[in-house]
């Protein structure tokens, strides 16, 4: 996201990665300095940490629904999308 599409406040919309053989495995290489690569690494780690915290907060916030879904699956073993949404929207 940061290197291929340039989606970063610091780098704006500047792509720093080139992809060759897009349909044959997608070999990629960075087209920037070592200092910029270090900053990219820092930003990737920060982005992953931020989104991990967000995911954990969503799970904690919805713990009761998750427990209810787990009980349902324990009893029935399978669940349809409709049943899932019914439990989720209660």
- pLDDT tens for each residue of 29-71: 777 788 888 888 888 899 899 999 999 999 999 999 999 999 9
> Based on the number of CB atoms within 10 Å of its own CB, is 58 exposed (0-12), middle (13-18) or buried (19 or more)?
exposed
Predicted pLDDT of residue 87: 92
Region 78-89: mean pLDDT is 94
Q: Indicate yes or no: pTM above 0.85.
A: no
Which tokens go with 5? 């599409």
Number of H helices, E strands in the chain: 3, 2
| Residue-wise pLDDT tens digits, 12-22 | 767 777 777 66
Question: What residue segments make up the domains of the chain, in order of their start?
Answer: 1-32, 46-88
Strand partners, 84: none
Predicted pLDDT of residue 12: 72
């Amino acid at each position: 996201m940061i290197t291929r599409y340039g989606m970063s406040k610091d780098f704006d919309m500047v792509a720093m990665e080139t992809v060759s053989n897009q349909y044959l495995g997608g070999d990629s290489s960075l087209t920037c300095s070592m200092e910029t690569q270090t900053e990219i690494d820092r930003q990737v780690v920060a982005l992953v940490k931020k989104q991990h915290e967000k995911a954990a907060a969503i799970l904690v916030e919805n713990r009761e629904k998750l427990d209810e879904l787990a009980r349902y699956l324990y009893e029935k073993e399978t669940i349809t999308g409709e049943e899932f949404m019914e439990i989720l929207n209660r």
